[in-house]
Amino acid sequence: MSDEVLVDVDGGVAVITINRPQARNAVNGAVARGIAAALDELEERKDVSAYVLTGAGGTFCAGMDLKGFLTGDFPVVEGRGFGGIVEAPPKKPIVAAIEGYALAGGCELALACDIIVASEEAKFGLPEPKRGLVAGAGGIMRLPRRIPYHIAMEIALTGDHFPASRLYEVGLVNHVTPAGEALAKALELARRIAANAPLALAATKRVIVESADWSGDEMFAKQGEIINPVFGSKDAMEGAAADGHRFAAGCDPYGHTRRVHVKECVR
């Protein structure tokens, strides 16, 4: 998309790379616009089912480019927020592959992803309070939803760096790899995800993300609005046939009714 953001598509997976290694991949306006532009295009591509977000040169992202910020170069895209992603993460699954530092805005980019793979040398942190700033790109909102309250408070209030091993212990990091192998592991996961049906992936992610705000009384109704169209899709019919099963016309495998025509449920 640009020199600052590289995109490579292969096997259903798009690798989005922040390419400012000389600045530890600090996010400036060009990076934010590049990520936003990449996602705008890739979300519409049928040959892409999953993403990997990473950084060039052995570092994920050291946060916002403070030098640029002081000169009025704001790394925010309208509608998508900081880094072109934190306020509007993609509908398709995205895996973060982290080497080196994921600090401040870099940590917040990771938190905007669905799965985090980090090398054993990776460091995470929200050091904004040490600089008189606040982690306003989702960090202090997402972190306590992902890990225990008191640990989130320690990370957010001290501004210290925390190793990948510690964040693996509390469930924020999915996999810890030897140094230099985070991208390979992230690609492995992304390819396994991309091998699944696109409609099912999008619906599954949407339910997981949105259901946090649903009440007990409405949760199954809201879930049905999202997942019912999947059960009448071509992917579902082909998947069921491949397993030697048939869906009953008008209901999904769990007995929930759905408004579809009978012809959608038979081959």
Which amino acids are annotated catalytic?
108, 128
Structure tokens given for 99: 């080497």
Rounded CA gap, 122 and 72, in Å? 30
Identity of residue 201: L
| Residues 6+ away with beta carbon under 8 Å from 263 | none
Q: Hunting for tokens 């990948």 — which residue is that?
A: 164
Pairing of strands 123-125, 162-163: antiparallel
CA-based nearest residue to 189, from 54, 30, 5, 2: 54
Q: Phi, psi at residue 264, to the nearest 5°? A: -75, -20
CA end-to-end span of the chain, whole Å? 42
Rounded CA gap, 203 and 67, in Å? 40
| Residues 6+ away with beta carbon under 8 Å from 111 | 86, 138, 139, 142, 143, 146
CB atoms within 10 A of CB 35: 29
Rounded CA gap, 88 and 76, in Å? 12
Q: Give the CA distances from residue 151 to residues 44, 109, 125, 157, 160, in Å, rounded to whole numbers and listed in that order.
A: 38, 19, 12, 10, 12
